[in-house]
Structure 1
């Protein structure tokens, strides 16, 4: 197997790329300059690409030893509406927008992987499709790219993705078979009552009072109607209603998310939640409108593809670098849309350094040691080369 170690010259170039991306973050589906910058790097490397949608890009590295497997790698390129507070000399110049989830790192890692695989293309058969995906922080972005054909022509056989992870030691790689992230659906519940004077509540229908029963019922649904070994989270994150302290509120709006690891459970709880809310509100004399938006599915890792990453990590860095994650995250990632179509694996790249404070994802002080970029590139590159070699035998 070829030497996939990142050279010092390439690493220095990649650090400059990452810092540029970090300084100019853009929100979901508005990554125009980010996409332009990625194209400029690819053009400087004389590597061809295709635009998908307004800001998405794909790069096909075609092996010169003939036909073979077709493997995809995805990186997300969007940022978050967060005001950066890291104090870094290359902190965000776009007010109120920040790469607080490490997508600048993911994008840089995939660019480095493109560079490495392009260098090896004379030595493998098959094809690698590198997908620079917009809008991961918004719903539907991966699904849109799939509908735009990124898994076809020719058909992608397997997929890989990674995420920086502040919950395992720096330089380790976290892997897990089966579910590794949850599905994430969004809902809005509008409770309609009848306004009136607070001195005469019997002449009104109090939407606020009804909403408290709805919240309790949703908690009951999670705790008492769901198998506890298949976790479900129903979270109300926003609630509004009422106009004055002495007026009975005639309307309350609640917004939240439903998260699950099991597809059948997700469907069942969704249906039960809608039924429960409508029946409960009606029992108190009100009416309920439940607007439910299916989000991205859970990321379910394929055992065979995950095993290749495990073997790659041990070959590159030894057994001690491999962390077998004991439990999934109830956070979400729309990579689940890819994993639902083709065998895939999504692994964690540890950034937690000993005796140093490590901020979580989506925190205004989130940052990472850039040496992790080379590790991500090496794991991607060798994993892909190993799979192409295996499929070519």
Structure 2
């Protein structure tokens, strides 16, 4: 069974060389969120070279709709993010970034290359499957709202997508292995800004003032208690304040302090509850000391909640290709975030990890200036995406996978 799958999904030498060229180019020419004009044009150039129909989506997105031998059947979506980060690269790769202060430090160049290879393979095999596949090259994953914007613009419609797949290269799993998890695999990410308005005065007469710094310290302590004493210990919650600004001199009572931070949860219900408690708590403390709190707490990224049946399908397909010993069931979610959660809120979805850790070289985490991966992971990703999509299409209905 495994040998026949490998034979069917084999990538020819020409395609392997093309994918290596694509990854090198993308890594050398990274672009920040919503500025991926050159990146999307490069994606289009390969689709045109291969004769594969496609369409632009928004300013910098690209969508490929593939139709098999008959339209009846599931409609599967596959997503890759295409943007880079504002990080100065320090890898010393031969194809290191040419853009000062911009780097593919999160593996999106690999994700894009893997999806291009998947598009090519599915297009070549289209006479062997029925149904539809929508491949989405998504801009702006590193900026809030990109996936949500595409959804609002109809990327999951006409015809409706029945299920979504995505992967992320992962430096915390052995090279070529796969990590899967049912339920939450990444956390929500909601950024906040609190402005405490007190009353300035002289430090010799604090009773005539309202000290915004002292009130902010009370808020910081109360927020930590909100995590430790108001949340189920087995339901992960993070409240982090990473920036505080306030005060003008050592003998002046500060009239204004600004705190900025982020909250993370893995449950949609906890996310909603936390927001309500957070606002009530902060406003209450400020009011109790005679100050006023202005709070900005917009909805950010939802958690990625994996569908059990789709996740099981990825697990089975990874076992077919790589062997069961290379498939890891992740015991806990990451408190990092990915806007793929917006897709997962709309349709059954699964998001899995593709390991890139190698024992013979240093391991650098995502968003590190020395982050890199071996390009040999790309054909593994292509085969895994392709095999999973074909398996889902062959089932006839996603619900029965």
Q: What TM-score range do you get, normalising by the shorter chain?
A: over 0.9
Query: Per-residue displacement from partner, 1:59-84 (whole Å, max 9, x unpaired)?
Result: 01110234211000000000111111
Query: Per-residue displacement from partner, 1:9-67 (whole Å, max 9, x unpaired)?
Result: 21111111011111111111111111111111111111111111100110011102342
- 2:27 is aligned to 22
- 1:286 is aligned to 291
CA-CA distance at 1:162 after TM superposition: 0.2
Q: Does the CA contact (< 8 Å) of 1:114 and 1:130 recur in 2?
A: yes
Write the mapping of 1:242-253 to structure 2, written as runs, cut at 5 A.
Answer: 242-253=247-258
- Secondary structure at the aligned position of 2:335 is classed as coil
Which of 80, 83, 86 is the equivalent residue of 1:81?
86
Distance in 1 between residues matched to 2:43 and 2:166, nearest whole Å: 18
Write the mapping of 1:50-69 to structure 2, written as runs, cut at 5 A.
Answer: 50-69=55-74
Distance in 1 between residues matched to 2:190 and 2:247, nearest whole Å: 27
- 1:298 is aligned to 303
Distance in 1 between residues matched to 2:359 and 2:10, nearest whole Å: 24
Distance in 2 between residues matched to 1:360 and 1:85, nearest whole Å: 13
Distance in 2 between residues matched to 1:126 and 1:166, nearest whole Å: 34
Q: Does the CA contact (< 8 Å) of 1:196 and 1:247 recur in 2?
A: yes
Matched, 1:165 2:200: no
Matched, 1:383 2:388: yes
Matched, 1:35 2:40: yes
Q: Does the CA contact (< 8 Å) of 1:65 and 1:123 recur in 2?
A: no
Which of 198, 206, 215 is the equivalent residue of 1:210?
215
- 1:277 is aligned to 282
Gap regions ≥5 residues in structure 1: none
The range that moved more, 346-355 or 6-15, is 6-15
Distance in 2 between residues matched to 1:108 and 1:244, nearest whole Å: 54
Matched, 1:103 2:88: no
Matched, 1:192 2:197: yes
TM-score (norm 1): 0.98
Distance in 1 between residues matched to 2:118 and 2:40, nearest whole Å: 17
- 1:371 is aligned to 376
Query: Per-residue displacement from partner, 1:227-261 (whole Å, max 9, x unpaired)?
Result: 11111111111111111222211101111111111
CA-CA distance at 1:134 after TM superposition: 0.5
Gap regions ≥5 residues in structure 2: none
Matched, 1:156 2:161: yes
The range that moved more, 279-288 or 129-138, is 279-288
Query: Per-residue displacement from partner, 1:87-111 (whole Å, max 9, x unpaired)?
Result: 1111111111111000000000000
Q: Does the CA contact (< 8 Å) of 2:71 and 2:132 recur in 1?
A: no
Q: How many residues of Structure 1 are paired with residues of Structure 2 in the alignment?
A: 393
Q: What is the root-mean-square deviation in Å for CA atoms of aligned residues? A: 1.2
Could you list the runs of 4 or more consecutive aligned residues of structure 1 that deviate by over 4 angstroms after TM superposition? none
Distance in 2 between residues matched to 1:257 and 1:334, nearest whole Å: 15
Q: Does the CA contact (< 8 Å) of 1:75 and 1:161 recur in 2?
A: yes
Query: Per-residue displacement from partner, 1:282-323 (whole Å, max 9, x unpaired)?
Result: 111111011111112111111111111111111111111111
- Secondary structure at the aligned position of 2:8 is classed as coil
Matched, 1:354 2:363: no
Distance in 2 between residues matched to 1:389 and 1:225, nearest whole Å: 47
TM-score (norm 2): 0.96
Distance in 2 between residues matched to 1:25 and 1:239, nearest whole Å: 32
Matched, 1:307 2:315: no
